[in-house]
Amino acid sequence: MSKKALVIVDVQNDFCPGGTLAVPQGDDVIKPLNKMIAYARQHNWLIVASRDWHPMVTNHFQEYGGLWPIHCVKDTKGAEFHSDLKVDEITVVSKATEPDQDGYSAFNGYKDDGQTLKEFFESNDIKKVYIGGLATDYCVKASAVDAVKLGFETFLLLDVCRAVNLKPGDGEEAVKEMIDLGVKVINTREVQNEKS
Ligand code: VGL
């Protein structure tokens, strides 16, 4: 039987309240995500957590011509997963590790052993991918769009996503774009009541 995968996108300190690029209510996703992680573990899903893992100098940051304040610099407190997120024994995928990358998508990243997320999924016969985390309008969207384009049946876990909303409505717009490209929207409670 093919397996399902849960992808938790960038639930890192800098994207949570108090961080340098705090997503409004970003930490609200942690409790329901922890439940989802427990469910996924019980059902033998593959579980992956992506993290932004930037160099100090990158043209992703405003100082060097990019859009964003400095955030998630590798090996700093801001780049750590939020301490309430139950990530122990979860596969970590680090992305945006090069100075010329925005690296929004988890499919841009690598596991510690150098494997890409696509390779990891293919070697585990993953067919369905469930995605939630931060932020709806950037890294979650980019990851879900890549998942669909790579041929995975892709589900957005809407209740465990929050948007940056640089412009009001960006989050909703992102959800519409994902739906148009074939992403299915669901919430974690519905998934946990599914039969299969
Ligand atoms: C993200 C803005 C900049 C994200 C990353 O994780 O969605 N957003 N870098």
**Residue 123's domain is classified under what CATH number?**
3.40.50.850
Taking the C-alpha atoms of residue 94 and residue 109, their distance in angstroms, rounded to an integer, is 5
In this predicted model, what pLDDT tens digit does every residue of 60-108 receive, in sequence order?
Answer: 999 999 999 999 999 999 999 999 999 999 999 999 999 999 999 999 9
Of 121, 123, 122, 140, nearest in space to 131 by CA = 140
pLDDT of residue 196: 52
Q: Give this prediction's pTM.
A: 0.97
| Spatial contact of 170 and 135, defined as CB atoms under 8 Å apart | no
Whether 196 is in a domain gets the answer: no
* DSSP one-letter string for 140-167: IHHHHHHHHHTT-EEEEEEEEEE---SS
Q: How far is the CA of 138 from the centre of ligand 1 (A)?
A: 5
| Spatial contact of 144 and 178, defined as CB atoms under 8 Å apart | yes
Whether 140 is in a domain gets the answer: yes
pLDDT of residue 1: 66
In this structure, the residue with its CA closest to atom 8 of ligand 1 is 138
Domain extent for 58? 3-191
Whether 19 is in a domain gets the answer: yes
Rounded mean pLDDT of the chain? 97
Whether 182 is in a domain gets the answer: yes
pLDDT of residue 17: 97
Catalytic residue among 95, 102, 137, 146: 95
Label residue 195 by pLDDT band (50, 70, 90). low
Label residue 2 by pLDDT band (50, 70, 90). confident
For the chain, how many structural domains are there in total? 1
In this structure, the residue with its CA closest to atom 3 of ligand 1 is 68
Q: How far is the CA of 58 from the centre of ligand 1 (A)?
A: 14
180 is catalytic: no
> Is the CB of 10 within 6 Å of ligand 1?
yes
